[in-house]
Structure 1
Amino acid sequence: MKKRPRTLPRRPVGADSTRIACFFSTSGHSGVDRAAGHLIPALARRGYRVDLLKVRQHGPELEEIPEGVTLIDLGSRHTLACLPAVIRYLRRCRPAVMLSDKDKVNRVALFARALARAPTRLVLRSGTTISLDLATRGALERWIQRHSMGWLYPFAEQVIVASSGVADDMTDYTGLARARIRVVPPPVIPANLFASELPRPDHPWFGQSDTPLILSAGELCSRKDFATLLRAFARLRAERSCRLMILGKGAARERLLALAETLGVAADFALPGYVRDAHAYMAHADLFAFTSRWEGLGFVLIEALAVGTPVVSTDCPSGPREILDGGRYGPLVAVGDDAGLARAMLATLDRPLPKRVLQQAAQPYEIEASTDAYLNAMGLAARAWS
């Protein structure tokens, strides 16, 4: 049974070295949500008390609230309007560390600590390649985010990102010193996934050895560039029988279906919608294709590797090159290159890497290993867990 968010706990006599605050404001289905859903329980398992500061009607949403985790309602649906509540929380609870994510939330965290005059250490996270993420935003929003990172983030004790590419981009775009940014692998993979025998999905396309199934997953939007994947699939299908399935929902759904009709591959193309747990789909696919134009890392690419499914990926900024060790664990192709992608998919279907080799690439993103890295970045002890 879910616990209801409650008001602030009583103020401790002194600073609380065992308390961690997590301040996020998410869509409810993003990579940050998935990482938070793994990290928060893992921190609690280490014996820390974790407060999840909740912006109303925003994620992350935890399916179950573990012992040691408290939801704190900040009283508003708008992140900036939560500033007074965050100030009151810091004054009363005095957590050892507050971890926040996304620039607007990070700014509130910085202002709240300054106004609260709290001894809490701030660890700010950014999860995307910021220059590309802001490229389509308005001039004012770009200016605010660019300069807030360059001017305000030095007041935090630590800035963390998911990949070296994101760190380098942040330095180049905002002027924040590279030495102030630490790469910390996010918690993506539960340890038992590496050895799990996942059930075959209830779909007729799985388990047909004579017709390889290519899978992808993500929001149906321009950033994921599934149009290039469809064009590459049409090239590949002209040479051999195969099928393509993309898991996810989004505004590009009808455009992708229309493109499949135009390319003449609609009969072998499926969009089943959003699947909450895609691991079984990945495990029983013959190939996973990742075609983003830009990312912060690429969680689904890591998940596919963890279940031992061969992958191909665009060499987008940032993440895939690091995950795949420069192509060691799967080919990298130029963004938007459907011909190159088709060749890479054909070669990988013909000569897939062994499962045990593919899983090596996902090991740094195992939940407990990542939790150790987060605690180290927060300046806290990596306690034993149960």
Structure 2
Amino acid sequence: MKHLAVFLPSLGGGGAEKVMLTLVEHFTARGVRCDLVVAINGGQLTDQVPPGVRLIEFGKRKTIHAVAALANYLRRDKPDALLATVFSANTCALLASALAPGKRRTVVCESSLSEMAYGDDVSVRVQVNRMLASALYRKAHKIVAISKGVRESILRTYSVRESDVRIIYNPICSARNLGNGVHKRRDNLLVACGRLEPPKDYPTMLRAFARVLQQHDARLRILGQGSLREVLEQQCADLGITDRVIFEGFVRDPGRRMCEATVFLHTASFEGFGLVLAEALANGCPVVATDCPGGVREVLDGGKYGILVPVGDDAALANAILSVLRKEVKVSDPSEHLHKFDTECVAEQYMEVLFQ
């Protein structure tokens, strides 16, 4: 029996964590023995670990503090393959593998645009970190990029061979994360889902929504939590739209809201993939999204399956929303397109890179 270890920073409610939980469930069904190893205890998804998967928690405060514990685990349990995702977990996994050499394959999944982590900072510290990350990434047996945009970013940022980077799209998460499609769609309901952090650019969404309300009645539900909630709530008050916006916080089943929505909104300034976009399409919800660097354009096939607008342009975003609310646009049926995000298909590709 093949033995796989999947290493994560924690089991928080992010897209990367949902993807790994979906994959280990399918790996286990294929007869793979799976350990889910996390650096930081707890998280909203802890109770979502699939049956048959062993959860190992190191109880660290930061992911990088788990290097020694992970190396000890690798020496003791000797998994055939180690899969990590999210940059902090990737570097930790590669360091631990170097400290505990063996026959295992070490695969890291990059889920964001690499250069965005460094920005325009040219300080010595940042450049040293970049060189160290490049050296570590070259030690991986394979680097998985979750979109073409992420692959291009990896190749621009790190000194790795093109043949070492393989694109594997994220899977649309299992039924426990998606609605069952029987909920009645509500008129004039807009839904957004994502962390309340700067890269998601909610200020532009709120400005656009205020414009929409000048011409059309609507409500906006925002699913997710983050450091900007109070700032965004104050922006709603300043725009006079507080009574039309609901911040729901973390929602375990966003698919249900997508099934009810008239429009799904996504205003990120950059996005590695955009799992929520694929989930919205799977739930039959029309999508309006920013044409940002990363994977959004791939998920929506260049705008064939959703409306793309420029990043930060609240006027263009408002016009796109109004065109959907007024039923002035019609997008193609995404059913065939969504096959590339099918969990079985994605799991098979991961099995290839993990176990050859």
User: Is TM (by shorter chain) over 0.5?
Assistant: yes
SS in 1 for 2:143: strand
SS in 1 for 2:153: helix
2:58 and 2:111 map into 1 onto residues whose CA distance is: 23
225-234 vs 87-96, greater mean Cα deviation: 87-96
Structure 1 counterpart of 2:276, which letter?
V
1:266 and 1:296 map into 2 onto residues whose CA distance is: 31
SS in 1 for 2:160: coil
Q: CA 1:343–1:75 in structure 2 vs 1: closer, same or farther (change >3 Å)? A: closer
Matching of residue 315 in structure 1 with residue 291 in structure 2: yes
**Offset at 1:122?**
0.7
Residue of structure 1 equivalent to 2:316: 340
SS in 1 for 2:106: strand
Identity value in percent: 33
Post-superposition CA distance 1:312-335 (Å, at most 9, x none)? 110111111000111111111111
Matching of residue 114 in structure 1 with residue 98 in structure 2: yes
Residue of structure 2 equivalent to 1:173: 157
Query: How do 1:195-234 and structure 2 match up within 5 A?
Result: 196-199=180-183, 207=186, 209=187, 212-234=188-210
Could you tell me the TM-score, scaled by structure 1's length? 0.83
Alpha-carbon contact 2:41-2:57 (below 8 Å) kept? no
**Offset at 1:191?**
6.3
Gap runs ≥5 in structure 1: 1-16, 201-205, 381-386
Could you tell me the TM-score, scaled by structure 2's length? 0.89
Residue of structure 1 equivalent to 2:110: 126
SS in 2 for 1:168: helix
**Offset at 1:67?**
4.7
Structure 1 counterpart of 2:240, which letter?
G
Structure 2 counterpart of 1:149, which letter?
A
**Offset at 1:60?**
8.3
333-342 vs 147-156, greater mean Cα deviation: 147-156
Structure 1 counterpart of 2:305, which letter?
Y
2:135 and 2:93 map into 1 onto residues whose CA distance is: 14
2:123 and 2:42 map into 1 onto residues whose CA distance is: 26
261-270 vs 367-376, greater mean Cα deviation: 261-270
Alpha-carbon contact 1:189-1:365 (below 8 Å) kept? no
Q: CA 1:20–1:236 in structure 2 vs 1: closer, same or farther (change >3 Å)? A: same
Residue of structure 2 equivalent to 1:236: 212
Residue of structure 2 equivalent to 1:156: 140
Structure 2 counterpart of 1:379, which letter?
F
Q: CA 1:73–1:221 in structure 2 vs 1: closer, same or farther (change >3 Å)? A: closer
Matching of residue 34 in structure 1 with residue 18 in structure 2: yes
Residue of structure 2 equivalent to 1:79: 63
2:330 and 2:18 map into 1 onto residues whose CA distance is: 27
Residue of structure 2 equivalent to 1:301: 277
120-129 vs 25-34, greater mean Cα deviation: 25-34
Matching of residue 376 in structure 1 with residue 315 in structure 2: no
1:196 and 1:108 map into 2 onto residues whose CA distance is: 38
**Offset at 1:145?**
4.2
Q: Which structure has the larger Rg?
A: 1
**Offset at 1:287?**
0.5
2:145 and 2:189 map into 1 onto residues whose CA distance is: 33
Residue of structure 2 equivalent to 1:143: 127
SS in 2 for 1:312: strand
1:361 and 1:270 map into 2 onto residues whose CA distance is: 32
Structure 2 counterpart of 1:49, which letter?
R
Residue of structure 2 equivalent to 1:25: 9
1:140 and 1:89 map into 2 onto residues whose CA distance is: 34
Matching of residue 98 in structure 1 with residue 82 in structure 2: yes
Alpha-carbon contact 1:103-1:145 (below 8 Å) kept? no
2:174 to 166, 171, 190: 190
SS in 1 for 2:334: helix
SS in 2 for 1:378: helix
Matching of residue 284 in structure 1 with residue 268 in structure 2: no
Alpha-carbon contact 2:6-2:36 (below 8 Å) kept? yes
**Offset at 1:181?**
0.9
Structure 2 counterpart of 1:351, which letter?
E
SS in 2 for 1:87: helix
1:237 and 1:254 map into 2 onto residues whose CA distance is: 22
1:114 and 1:63 map into 2 onto residues whose CA distance is: 32
Post-superposition CA distance 1:140-193 (Å, at most 9, x none)? 663354223322212211001211101101111223233321111123332698
1:107 and 1:65 map into 2 onto residues whose CA distance is: 24
Q: CA RMSD in A?
A: 2.6
Total equivalences in the alignment: 355
2:189 and 2:45 map into 1 onto residues whose CA distance is: 32
Structure 2 counterpart of 1:276, which letter?
R
